[in-house]
Chain A
């Protein structure tokens, strides 16, 4: 579905690399998580897939097509994009926010309206209540639900998510994570999700690519990362959630 071959990104003509010689195959239907600390190159890797950032060298293919040859605007419309900043347009209503891409793609008005209601239901918000509200009248969790709905507006098969739930409170985050996994399965999406939150990665991912210094340190399922860490870095990283669980347990006993 998505393939990265020897992809690098440098902003200083090769003196240093944000992402270096990275290769990765993402299969249709999976949730792949790019996991790492800030500055490890995970967001840059994500943004190279929809050309918000252009790679310096290497090849990226989406659906078997080299994205270097495709129009970035058309490419981005085929790929949903959800990020921590949410970025709902404050001068538009919720319906207009969700309907903006269908409208730009020339959909008819009644078709857009129907799609907006369908998407609001998909993200568990009541269309009649939310349709004509402004983004500032919504809570953070509700706003990000709209963010997800907007990303899915013209039925992309691929969704890119950049720390989408990072700014939400733990309860809201938890329910949105579960809900997104449901939507992902329901619509047979392919999702690439960037996070530094270990629990989020373990709970949502089919596979996790642990990144450090612009490279993939290990690419594996959550289970095998926990049982078979490739090196000390991954091992230390994987200890954290277990340690947390243990300390919570000790509080209860």
Chain B
């Protein structure tokens, strides 16, 4: 068994359990809302069309967007006035519930209205009340159609739940997002196969229930119901069980740990809330590696950790601000331009100092400082073009830009840096193309585009023989990788002590090599392996 396979297998219980939990809860809530709603509108012709249309409109929202939209919606409404967290579980379950509604609602209405009018007349004629007509005649006869709707919803929800990763909910999507970003196809397959397996299993069980109801087979009914209830309970209980098991599994090596745990016992009772440090990561290789690195440093101090990776880049900051995660690595320029909304570009140290001050005063977030490298936006072109055309700076590129295409990651062309750069250097590309950042470099090498918005710490710049253009007018702000710590975790000296040694410890060359280990196609390493390698090299430097 390869290291990669073993690592993916290790994550399976936790990813699967969380996936099961959000899917089952969303379906359950979806059924509990949709079936009564369908019964209600099946008796009120005037309401039927508006309600069905409204639920249909929800379905037209792309699922990824629906999930992502829940985050600001929950944040702006103080969690629907209930104080629900805008991170992870609630946005995921609410979006999935909404997504499950259409097939259940539509099938229930169709099923009820499709009951032979002779039968409802007979039911009323023999003296059933409206309620009895519904429960004794309409619902039992509509049951196969209703269950078919629930089965459709089940398949959809289990599938769409893989998109809950970027809003901070752990699920089988973690395999898919991370796998796609790091081009780790085994990992992607893990997510896809597990999700398909889960969908088929749930569908089979509900199908069994349907057949049992139709054929009145008690044994089958008990078997299906039993299995569903088991899965339901498993879905609700297992994430916490798995977490506990994980926590036991990652107990640090006995020699130092026992001493430390004993030593810190009084401290632990004092700061009880911090039972584990939650580490966040955005969706690219460097972030996965750094999250693994932060995790192993914290473990060394005897702290429990959990990981929420593949988060959307604004979601991760909000999550830290709200205390949903405790620590992650961001970039000073991102904070400067996107969160503080500054457009001026002062020196590297001033950006660092001012962002730290802003984080502390505005949000109570502690910036521990730079890891020692920048991951800035940089315009890269093929080395051969640079030599042939004599392009050294972005300014040189401007005169050639009208006959060139430029590729960027999803965010790039919407970011203030691109607008500033375009205006300052009068760039006028014939076309702008958005790529998944993992495909952007190949696109440049394959001559799909002539320039890309590269990341300066990316190992593929050297590996693919790319040339990074200078920015003489300094319109691109500095992007120091900075460690941010939540208010809660900043009060815990052990956290700060564990992370402090990483500050200024990673030169950009090391980060590039670690990134390349994960991004390259041959002799590929997982993020955790790259983090261990990075950690061993940092030790040598110390």
Contacts and interface: CB of A to CB of B under 8 A. Distances in A.
Interface string B83-122: 0000000000000000000000000000000001011011
A83 B126 contact: no
B127 A87 contact: no
A201 B131 CA distance: 37
A100 B141 CA distance: 16
Contact of B125 (A74, A81, A153): A81
B127 A89 contact: no
Interface stretch (B132-140, B392-400, B487-495): B132-140
B118 A85 contact: yes
B127 A76 contact: yes
Interface centre among B118, B127, B136, B141 (most CB of A within 10 A): B127
A88 B128 contact: no
A17 to B, nearest CB: 23
A90 B136 CA distance: 11
A11 B381 CA distance: 79
B124 interface: yes
Contacts of A89: 119, 122-123, 136-137, 141
Contact of A104 (B116, B125, B132, B140): B132
Nearest to A103: B136
Interface in A133-167: 150-151, 153
Given A91-B140, A100-B136, A83 B124 contact: no
B130 to A, nearest CB: 9
B338 interface: no
A52 interface: yes
A77 B125 CA distance: 8
Interface majority SS (helix, strand, loop, mixed), chain A: mixed
Contact of B126 (A74, A91, A100): A100
Contacts of B116: 87
B140 A81 contact: no
Contacts of A76: 124-127
A69 to B, nearest CB: 17
Contact of B129 (A73, A83, A86, A100): A73
A161 to B, nearest CB: 11
Nearest to A87: B122
Contact of A87 (B119, B132, B136, B140): B119
Contacts of A151: 126
B127 A83 contact: no
Nearest to B129: A73
A107 to B, nearest CB: 13
A101 interface: yes
B127 A73 contact: yes
B126 A77 contact: yes
B128 A87 contact: no
A153 B116 CA distance: 23
Interface in A48-80: 50, 52, 73-77
Interface of B: 116, 118-119, 121-129, 132, 136-137, 140-141
Given A85-B122, A87-B119, 14 more contacts: A50-B125, A52-B124, A73-B127, A73-B128, A74-B127, A76-B127, A83-B121, A87-B116, A87-B122, A87-B123, A89-B119, A90-B119, A91-B141, A100-B126
